[in-house]
Amino acid sequence: MSASLFDEGLAAARASAPLAVRMRPRSLDELLGQQHLLAAGSPLRRLISATGESGPGTTSVILWGPPGTGKTTLASLVSTSTGRRFVELSAVTAGVKDVREVIERARDALGMQGVGTVLFVDEVHRFSKTQQDALLPAVENGWVTLVAATTENPSFAVISPLLSRSLVLTLQPLTDDDIRGVLLAAVADGRGLNGTVELSDEAIAHLLRIAGGDARRALTSLEAAAGAALDAGTNVVDLSAVERAVDRAAPRYDRDGDQHYDVISAYIKSMRGSDVDASLHYLARMIEAGEDPRFIARRLVILASEDIGLADPTALQTATAAAAAVAFVGLPEGRLALAQATIALALAPKSNAVIAGIDAAQADVRRGLIGQVPAHLRDSHYSRAADHGHGVGYVYPHGVPGGVAPQQYAPDQAAERRYYLPTRYGAEARYAEVLDRLRIALGRDPAPETLAPTPVGSGGTNPIDEG
């Protein structure tokens, strides 16, 4: 085949490639996002900028990050910027035999031609231990510069010997501004849509929601939406075109507007009202709209104490565990932890006794109902404390039968105040019985003056407790 025919064939293949492939950055200047890895003097910058076949330019790296954040692009830039051979293996399809063949050819190229090889292994976490072991000699001897990509934590997904011979670089999800730049460049660039379509603001907003920080997903959705618009005889890609193309309705949700506050309010009130289905509906709306999952998790933690409290002491543990899980795994998997916590909190018995109690106590303090700490409770761990009466007469609870010492703990001004008024719902019914016994043991009336507002719904039958 002649060179001209080959070039024509290559150009045709590129033209028919997916938009995400055609728009892959050709240089660091075209790369959006991951600037924390590309600062002057950073390992990745030195790796990409190196011109020699030794030194920092041969350091193997493991790129860890979510899909569509530029792992394949960075691997390609390593090879093109240094003039090395670029070989790509997918851990999904390659076996040990394929790995050894690539290493043998890389060794020959380096020994006979003096040309180094960049070996890119996509989804390296899918390689077995045996397959990863096969990479070790090549990495250790510098026959290849390994650039491995993974969406899993390398500490668990990559064997220790390979991990110790590589730099682990963490990629972050692209921001909305990064994705917007990718979309606008794809619309205008000759390698992309070459100005054949226009994007409406609503279409861009929905594409950003769909992308979730994944540039590949954004470009794939854009390509489908552009095709749908052109098939309909228009060059304007609007919201309906995107919805038709990706078969995914755009939630009417503005993260900075009324919908943000309305939906989160409905979410909280649905859980407070024990409607688990409505709670999951609003959770789904927020996730689909791209709401920050950490914001949702924070609201769950607040609700666990504000609306459940000691009616189910495990609610706060569930909510904080969900928040930790979201921070650890992120989306999309983090939605499972959010859903689990949402269901648990919606079904839990409800009590607002915790917030009512602390609100009443703070209200007293703000209006000056403070008083002196009783002398027998004051610090007595210093010389001559007894001369001031500090600690005198204090009864050590562990030294009396039952472990409860009948003595005054609150200041005189607050001695008869009752802030915690437990309901008879869920586990809080047990706390109510314990509290009555303790107040009697302390020589106090179990139910005198009431300051805290009566918890909503107290005195009735909680249907959650029945059966």
Could you report the per-residue pLDDT of 209-240, keeping only the tens digit for each? 888 788 888 898 899 889 888 888 898 998 88
d(CA 6, CA 4): 5
For range 347-360, the mean pLDDT:
91
Tell me the CATH number at 205. Answer: 1.10.8.60
pLDDT digits (tens, 9 = 90+) for 131-164: 888 888 888 888 888 888 888 888 888 888 888 8
pLDDT digits (tens, 9 = 90+) for 417-443: 888 888 888 888 888 888 888 878 877
> Do 122 and 165 fall within a single domain?
yes
> Do 106 and 129 fall within a single domain?
yes
**What is the average pLDDT value for the chain, to the nearest integer?**
80
Boundary residue ending a domain (201, 223, 246):
246
> Do 47 and 162 fall within a single domain?
yes
- How many structural domains is the chain composed of? 4
**CA separation, residue 441 to residues 114, 408, 427 (Å):** 88, 12, 22
> Do 74 and 146 fall within a single domain?
yes
pLDDT of residue 39: 76
Reported confidence tier of residue 50, pLDDT bands at 50, 70, 90: low
**CA separation, residue 166 to residues 28, 120, 130, 138, 173 (Å):** 22, 13, 18, 12, 22
pLDDT of residue 301: 95
Q: How many percent of the chain have pLDDT more than 70?
A: 85
426 lies in which domain range? Answer: 354-441
> Do 313 and 436 fall within a single domain?
no
For range 46-66, the mean pLDDT:
64
Lowest average pLDDT, out of 96-105, 249-258, 349-358, 430-439, goes to 249-258
Residue 58 inside a domain? The answer is: yes
Lowest average pLDDT, out of 45-54, 196-205, 281-290, 387-396, goes to 45-54
Residue 5 inside a domain? The answer is: no
Lowest average pLDDT, out of 36-50, 200-214, 374-388, 418-432, goes to 36-50
Residue 447 inside a domain? The answer is: no
Query: CA-based Rg of the chain, rounded to a whole angstrom?
Result: 32
> Do 293 and 366 fall within a single domain?
no
Residue 462 inside a domain? The answer is: no
Boundary residue ending a domain (146, 170, 194):
170
pLDDT of residue 450: 46
Residue 29 inside a domain? The answer is: no
Boundary residue ending a domain (297, 313, 347):
347
Task: Pick the closest to residue 453 from 355, 350, 307 (CA basis).
Answer: 355
pLDDT digits (tens, 9 = 90+) for 117-137: 888 888 888 888 888 888 888
pLDDT of residue 12: 39
Residue 446 inside a domain? The answer is: no
Reported confidence tier of residue 183, pLDDT bands at 50, 70, 90: very high
For range 364-369, the mean pLDDT:
84
d(CA 345, CA 422): 18
- Asked if the model's pLDDT at residue 352 lies above 70, the reply is yes
Tell me the CATH number at 107. Answer: 3.40.50.300
pLDDT of residue 279: 92
> Do 276 and 188 fall within a single domain?
no
Query: How many C-beta neighbours within 10 Å does residue 227 have?
Result: 16
Q: How many percent of the chain have pLDDT more than 90?
A: 17
- Asked if the model's pLDDT at residue 185 lies above 80, the reply is yes
- Asked if the model's pLDDT at residue 465 lies above 70, the reply is no
> Do 413 and 302 fall within a single domain?
no
Task: Pick the closest to residue 30 from 149, 171, 189, 168 (CA basis).
Answer: 189
Lowest average pLDDT, out of 404-413, 441-450, 454-463, goes to 454-463
Top mean pLDDT of 210-219, 305-314, 400-409 is at 305-314
> Do 361 and 433 fall within a single domain?
yes
pLDDT of residue 456: 42
Q: What distance lies between CA 295 and its chain's CA centroid?
A: 10
> Do 51 and 164 fall within a single domain?
yes
pLDDT of residue 7: 41
Residue 16 inside a domain? The answer is: no
pLDDT of residue 49: 64
> Do 123 and 88 fall within a single domain?
yes
> Do 378 and 431 fall within a single domain?
yes
d(CA 81, CA 147): 14
- Strand partners of residue 168: 62
Residue 386 inside a domain? The answer is: yes
pLDDT digits (tens, 9 = 90+) for 234-262: 989 988 888 888 765 555 555 555 567 78
